Amino acid sequence: MSFSAHPQNYRDQNPDSDAGNKDFEAFFRLFYPDLCNYANRFVKNRAVAKDIVQSVFLNVWEQKNFWDDIESAKAYLFKSVRNKAINYQKHQQVKQESSRELQERIREWKKSQDSSA
């Protein structure tokens, strides 16, 4: 692969240039499948895993991140995916707890309405 160890080439160029886009695309293709599999281990949902990975890559693109070597890039990507996946799980738990609490309050309210009627 002619792509360097990091997407530094696109960092120094206009992000809309063909060379910058091709470098980033090569970087994306190099890591995307493994990152999706990794994210899926946490969230158990392929579509959500893909969204998480794409979000990480979008952040890389917007921030113009670059690394000294491929291992640093890989470590950053996997850690970012892991953190986003864990945050997703926590958010899902909060939503479930809120839903349970709301359902319980509705049951209690209905019960109080039935007993007062």
Taking residues 33-47, what's their average pLDDT? Answer: 97
Domain ranges of the chain: 8-116
Whole-number pLDDT of residue 19: 67
* Cα–Cα distance, 8 to 66 (Å, whole number): 5
Work out the pLDDT band at 23, boundaries 50, 70, 90.
Answer: confident
pLDDT tens digits, 2-19? 334 444 444 454 555 676
Taking residues 71-87, what's their average pLDDT? Answer: 95
Type of residue at 85: A
Query: Which has the closest alpha carbon to 87: 29, 48, 58?
Result: 48
Taking residues 53-82, what's their average pLDDT? Answer: 90
* Cα–Cα distance, 91 to 42 (Å, whole number): 13
* Cα–Cα distance, 65 to 116 (Å, whole number): 63
Give the predicted TM-score (pTM) of the model: 0.73
Domain 8-116 has CATH 1.10.357: no
